[in-house]
Amino acid sequence: MDRRRTLIALPGLVLASAAAPSALAFKLDGMLGAAKDAAKAATLTDQDVQAYAAQMAQHADAEARVAPAGDKYAKRLVSLTEGLGEEKGLTLNFKVYLTEEINAFAMADGSIRLYSGLMEAMTDDEVRYVIGHEIGHVKKGHSRKRMQTALATSATQQAAASSGGTVGALAESELGDLMAKVVRAQHSQGNEKEADDYAFDFMKRRKYDRMAAVTALEKLDQMFGGGQKTDWLSTHPAPKERAERMRAKLG
């Protein structure tokens, strides 16, 4: 595996969504679609956000090479996530995308997607740290905020109202733009710290090796740090300082 491959969020999926229709028809009912304006987007309920996220995850899965049940990565993920059906009220579902890229992401509905390249590069508990970190972005409201911001600033929002008048119909052509804004935008340093802290607590509660939070970030620093200008660094703050902070939390 080329260890210089960058940790970028769904570049191929975003481009494919924008350029060609999905193999899976991306149909939204009356309660799904872009908010009519910024004010409406700001008032999206948790149920609205989760419904958008579920549809986006479904579309992403249709565009990706998902590891089948008998695949070694799928089997490993089942083992790693045993007992992780939910996290503090959030129902979780997991899949592996077969690609050498080192990546992972979570949607607000609890969809967690790992890339096989990341699983190759990391130990079991390092993968669990990544899972905890991604869940942290959801539980701390970062994913919800991204969705609201993306919908509020979409250049092609539709004005058709839903049955409740809160959400309008999202054109299929908007999906690529929405995925880019929700998944690819860089998290702030504050958000990353919150997600790291959540992952640290997640691992403590579930009795995983918390040192894996440090070693996972150190591996990312070795691959993408050192001042390299990479797509990974354009979407994630430098991991070296985060690794040092996690080490300090170990006491």
Pick the catalytic residue: 63, 101, 126, 134? 134
Using CA atoms of 70, 95, 9, 214 in order, give the dihedral in degrees to the nearest 10: -90
- Where helices occur in 64-187 by DSSP H, the ranges are 72-80, 116-121, 124-139, 142-153, 175-179
- Which tokens is 186 given? 């860089």
Does 134 participate in catalysis according to the annotation? yes
Measured in degrees and rounded to the nearest 5, phi and psi for residue 91 equal: -75, 130
H or E element that contains 202: helix 189-205
Q: What is the DSSP string of 37-75?
A: SHHHHHT--HHHHHHHHHHHHHHHHHHS-BPPTTSHHHH
Alpha carbon distance 248, 251 (integer Å)? 6
Alpha carbon distance 103, 10 (integer Å)? 8
**Residue 38, number of CB atoms within 10 A of its CB:** 14
Enzyme catalytic residues: 134
